[in-house]
Homo-oligomer: A and B are copies of this chain.
Amino acid sequence: MRERGVDLMIFSPQASAMAHHVADPAVALDWARACNDLVHRVVRLFPANFAAACQLPQVPGGPLDDAVAELRRCVEELGFVGCNLNPDPSGGHWTSPPLTDPYWFALFEELVALDVPAMVHVSASRNPSFHALGAHYLNADTSVFMQLVEGDLFARFPTLRLVIPHGGGAVPYHWGRYRGLAARLGRPPLGEHVMRNVWFDTAVYHQAGIDLLYRVVDAGNILFASELHGAVRGVDPETGHAWDDTLRYIDNLALPAEARAKTLETNALRVYPRLTPRR
């Protein structure tokens, strides 16, 4: 973390190991609680360096009562500041309804009541067509963003906050496509319709991608992320630097101080307000 310029990490159970495809609610609950309790131990050991986000005990097509209860336990009893929400617990078969469907509303009500955000993140891929790191993750980001464009979730939940990782999947590269599709579907402009409630992160592992992200998305909607030991490990032989050393790419942008502060600190305090009392 010091190497990458990180003083505080929002630490969650490993997204790829959430194993939501195991269709047994008791297993899902035990596994989520075990992972969340371990994360909580780390936060207690290093409270200056870690805050916690929880794994939810989801199963494909199952009710969300256990997820709501575990979210409440983690936030109220353990001081967690957010959660990971899997839009496809099946692991690449996409059998759940879109996030705009009432199926998900009880969980959104709890997120709003607790004033914590969800990072939208799938887990492992069980579909051989989708490599987890090279397709399934990015497809989920892209699909959920379009679900939000198509629907009107934030009219119902105006204070709900969702983080879409991996720089928003394909979305910033196709920003014109999404602006045009929103118009074609009779939706308000993206800035009013989606981007008051959605944040992208900086897990984009080359300079050209980060440059594009900041060119089309307001710095107020970008949260710093660096995977450290995530999808893309090792060093880019062309630059001699780690692929996922994202602070370098941001430094190279030479952002105005306020935009830089938003990405590196103040956006996170807005999106994760339970971070503030810890500091």
Query: Could you tell me which A residues sit within 8 Å of B by CB distance?
Result: 87-88, 92-94, 96-98, 101, 127-131, 133-135, 138-139, 142-143, 145-147, 149-150, 166-167, 169-170, 172-181, 183-184, 204-206, 208-209, 211-212, 215-216, 231-234, 236, 243-244
Contact = CB atoms under 8 A, between A and B. Distances in A.
A126 to B, nearest CB: 11
Interface core residue of A142, A150, A169, A179 (most chain B CB under 10 Å) = A142
Given A94-B127, A129-B98, A209-B212, A204 B232 contact: no
A134 B205 contact: no
A88 B212 contact: no
Given A97-B128, A173-B173, A181 B135 contact: no
Copy number in the complex reads 2
A17 to B, nearest CB: 18
B233 A184 contact: yes
A242 to B, nearest CB: 9
Contacts of A127: 94
Interface core residue of A97, A173, A215, A236 (most chain B CB under 10 Å) = A173
A87 B135 CA distance: 14
Contact of A134 (B87, B146, B206, B212): B146
A176 B149 contact: no
B174 A204 contact: yes
Contacts of A146: 130-131, 134-135
